[in-house]
Amino acid sequence: MKEEALDLKTAKAQSFRQIDLRKKTRLGEGTIQALLFLTGILSIFTTIAIVYELGKEAMLFFADPDVTLVKFFTMTRWQPGIGEYGIVALVSATLTTSAIAISIALPLGLASAIYLSEYASPKARSVLKPILEILAGIPTVVYGYFALLFVTPILKSIFGDGIQVYNMLSAGLVMGIMILPLIASMSEDALSAVPRALREGAYAMGATKLETSMQVVVPAALSGIGAAVIVGISRAVGETMIVAVAAGAGPNFSFNPLDAAETMTGHIARISGGDLSYNTIDYTSLFAIALMLFLVTLVLNLISQWVVNRFRERYE
């Protein structure tokens, strides 16, 4: 019985056509795959092009015998045309406006996220979330208009002559509003990624909703929230139009929010908007600033991505 079964020779022999399974040359498939690969790799070329072009012109800037790294990082005045190369004069404004923006966007964004993720009913969410999305979709130049023609007059009526027409405070505040939706949505993602079981564990021990949210959920989502803040900072540092319109048109080494001062981005926008001729120190200096900007935002974005990925691994 057993032999019969394993032998399997009872079936009658049959003739059948031979099947050819060898690889066919599929020219179309290959071509398409190659093309798709090219489109995929194009983004790498974009990055290479950015680094190469910014680097090349920035090198020309630093190759100028008058420009030294010491001057670049220690002088507090920036006017390459007359031999002043202190990027600090621009960095100070970038730092000030970004700090104001984050100090607005972080508490408001995080609080919004907590409300949306922990408290809001599905119905309330469906109303509140689109509002944040609209806020996120408004072009930054419109925020610039809002800063200069709405927020600045209000600040003027508060601070009187103590505040300049163009000032970092107004730009920073509005930038905070602009970044708020970003921080809110990233934080909300982080909060809702915290497993239900963790919340239930807290509730089962008699914690209130607030205690659960603040002492269990938020700490568990902290790295995700951190990533949101880092991306927010990166966005603030790179933001151009709001500061170009409202913060001031001239480098000014100052950390006083009531002063007018020009950020790195604002400076690039103003100088390149004029009639800029190639191969001048003005031209190359802009690339040096842009390279700084690119590197700073790149590092911030990489850190944030790394944090998010680590966070994701933990809960998936």
Partner 1 sequence: MSTHTNTYPQGDAFNASLKTRYRVATIWQFAFLSALLIAILALTALLYNVVDGAFGYVAYDYKKDPATFTPIPVNELTKEDLLVILKENLSSGAYNKLENEQKLETRTQGELYTLFLERLVQIDTKATWSMTDSLFRSAEIRAEAAEKYPDAQLEFRSWLTPQFLTTPMSSKAEFAGVRTAVLGSLWLVGIAILFALPVGVGAAIYLQEYAPKNWLTNIIQTNINNLAGVPSIVYGMLGLAVFVRTMEALTSGSAFGVTDSNGRTVLSAGLTMGILVLPLIIINAQEAIKAVPDSLRQAAFGVGATRWQTVWYHVLPNALPGILTGSILAISRALGETAPLIVVGASTFISLDPNGPFSKFTALPIQIYQWTTRPQSEFHAIAASAIIVLLVLLLTLNATAILLRNRFQRKW
Partner 2 sequence: MENNNYAIETNDLSIHYGKFTAVKNVSMKVERKKITAIIGPSGCGKSTLLRAFNRMNDFVPSCHVTGELMLQGQNLYSRDVDPVEVRRKIGMVFQKPNPFPKSIYENIAWGARINGFKGKMDELVEQSLRAAALWDEVKDKLQQSAYALSGGQQQRLCIARTIAIQPEIILMDEPASALDPISTLRIEELMQELKQNYTIIIVTHNMQQAARASDYTAMMMIDDQRAGGVIEFDVTKTIFTRPKDKRTEDYVTGRFG
Residues 16-75 that bind partner 2 (CB under 8 A): 16, 18-24
Residue 84 parent element (H or E):
strand 84-85
Read off the DSSP letter of residue 180.
H
Minimum CB–partner distance for residue 224 and partner 1 (Å)? 15
Provide φ and ψ at 29, rounded to 5°: -55, -45
Compare residues 15 and 35 and give the one whose CB is closer to partner 1.
35
Q: Are 75 and 84 in contact (CB under 8 A)?
A: yes
The interface partner of residue 190, options being partner 1, partner 2, none and the CB cut-off 5 to 8 Å by kind, is none
The interface partner of residue 302, options being partner 1, partner 2, none and the CB cut-off 5 to 8 Å by kind, is partner 1
The interface partner of residue 234, options being partner 2, partner 1, none and the CB cut-off 5 to 8 Å by kind, is partner 1
DSSP lists the bridge partners of residue 79 as 84
Q: Are 230 and 303 in contact (CB under 8 A)?
A: yes
Residues 6+ apart with CB under 8 A from 195: 315
Q: Are 241 and 144 in contact (CB under 8 A)?
A: yes
Q: Please report where in the chains the tokens 């030294």 appear, as a residue.
A: 68
Residue 196 interacts with partner 2 (CB under 8 A)?
A: no
Minimum CB–partner distance for residue 189 and partner 2 (Å)? 27
Compare residues 29 and 68 and give the one whose CB is closer to partner 1.
29
Q: Are 207 and 282 in contact (CB under 8 A)?
A: no
Residue 96 parent element (H or E):
helix 88-114
- d(CA 314, CA 246) in angstroms, rounded, equals 43
Minimum CB–partner distance for residue 123 and partner 1 (Å)? 14
Compare residues 76 and 271 and give the one whose CB is closer to partner 1.
271
The interface partner of residue 4, options being partner 2, partner 1, none and the CB cut-off 5 to 8 Å by kind, is partner 2
- d(CA 213, CA 216) in angstroms, rounded, equals 6
The 3-state DSSP class for residue 225 equals helix
Compare residues 161 and 316 and give the one whose CB is closer to partner 2.
316
Minimum CB–partner distance for residue 17 and partner 2 (Å)? 10
The interface partner of residue 142, options being partner 1, partner 2, none and the CB cut-off 5 to 8 Å by kind, is partner 1
The interface partner of residue 222, options being partner 1, partner 2, none and the CB cut-off 5 to 8 Å by kind, is none
Q: Which of 188, 193, 219 is nearest to 309 (CA)?
A: 193
**Total of residues contacting partner 2 (CB under 8 A):** 20
Compare residues 4 and 313 and give the one whose CB is closer to partner 2.
4
The interface partner of residue 149, options being partner 1, partner 2, none and the CB cut-off 5 to 8 Å by kind, is partner 1
Q: For binding to partner 2 (CB under 8 A), which residues are involved?
A: 1-2, 4-6, 8-9, 11-16, 18-24
